[in-house]
Chains A and B, each alone.
Chain A
Amino acid sequence: MKHHLSTSVNGVSRQDEVEPRLLLAQYLRDVVGQTGTNIGCDTSQCGACTVLIDNEAVKSCTVFAVQAGGHEVSTIEGVAQGSELHPIQQAFIDNHGLQCGYCTPGFVMATKYLLDQNPDPTEEEIREALDGNICRCTGYTNIVKSVLAAAAALAAAPSPHAEGA
């Protein structure tokens, strides 16, 4: 039996009929048609599918779409403003924070959540905060560098992207 789902994805209200067993990650990819949210491990470990629900990082493979009813979902598609990349995205490019890029949407969303909460994290805090995201290419050194650079960029020039702006 399908259930009515009333939610918001990147600020756009949506009304859909979904099966309760449909995972949020599958809903975003197959129903909404936004495929930036990747499914990596399919076992709640890798964090590639990280999105924000009401500005909090969650693994969208471990949330049923129906549970997002009445809440706001933010995905990688909502991070840039038009053709202007978010400072976090730019920092990942500038610091070689990705190689194959598969885990990157999840890392960017987890980083966004971290910097919203803690705009000036230490390297150790970054490594702890990103404990739910796995990268099989970079060895994390450049990801940590990217997050430090993003924090510095956001602090230097608070952009319209910044939380609360």
Chain B
Amino acid sequence: MIPVAFDYQRATSVEDAVDKLTEAGDEARVLSGGQSLIPFMRLRFAVPDTLVDISGIRDLSFVRVDADRIRIGAMTRHSDLARDPVIAANLPLLGAMAGKIGDTQVRNRGTLGGSVAHADPAAEYATLCTMLDAEIVTTRRAIPASEFFLGRYTTPLAHDEVLSEVTFPVATGGHSYIKFGSRLFDWAIVGVAAQVLDDGVRIGLVSMADVPVRAVEGERALAQGATAEEAGRASTTGLAPTASVRASAPYKLHLAEVLTARALREAGAVRV
């Protein structure tokens, strides 16, 4: 399908993007890699009257380590992150997840900031942000991940607020990301990420609710000496995932429990 007609403007800097978005009004949207927005526009789920393209802003593509945080520019692409040596050395879980997003072509265009701003609970980064207490930095403020993902495709971002970077803690302990889909490039039916930190283990679940999930009950069980299977069962406490044509809710719950146990073993978070 063909998107509804819109005006296109190319921003030369973050400030310029904010100016153009402010002037265009509240039906304007930011275009970064376009790998979520363009399909949405073609289905006419999204009908912006103006797109402000930030993909030419080179300052928004970077990976830096500041003390114990990794800072990643919004325009940094999945393909860059999947092979970035600084990511591999400081937060290898992120690199592993980036390499499993979409397919080769999508990873060459799609960006960290675009995926986070899209706030799809079936997306890898949204879950990573939530489980590791990422901070989402915009042109106005810094928002903790716990206050950012308000619902499916819903965030507190204003129309003229540009997501400029996301910061994560450095985490070099054991980790695992298991994505379960019917085909290699598909969305995860369920995905489970596990990360060992100095003060415990974090568990994140992809596509198990309208928002990304940090499995706090599973983490707590683990801290109290649970086995991988027990922690897996605890991880789905209180969840009521949406069924799809590919998976019923009970199937998703079962998958999440089994994959959590598997991810915890892979991450070295439990005795095997």
Contacts and interface: CB of A to CB of B under 8 A. Distances in A.
Interface of A: 1, 3, 19-21, 23, 42-45, 47, 50, 56-59, 62-64, 66-67, 69-70, 110, 113-114, 127-132
B105 A20 contact: no
Interface of B: 1-8, 10, 31, 34-35, 38-39, 41-42, 51, 53, 55-56, 79, 102-106, 108-109, 184-185
Given A44-B38, A64-B38, A58 B105 contact: yes
A62 B104 contact: no
Contacts of A69: 10
A10 B251 CA distance: 49
16 contacts: A1-B7, A21-B4, A21-B6, A23-B2, A43-B39, A57-B104, A57-B108, A59-B106, A62-B39, A62-B106, A63-B109, A127-B184, A128-B184, A131-B185, A132-B102, A132-B106
Given A57-B108, A63-B34, A67-B53, A132 B103 contact: yes
A127 B103 CA distance: 11
A113 B104 contact: yes
B209 to A, nearest CB: 25
A20 B184 CA distance: 32
Contacts of B184: 127-128, 131
Given A57-B104, A131-B104, A131-B185, A63 B38 contact: yes
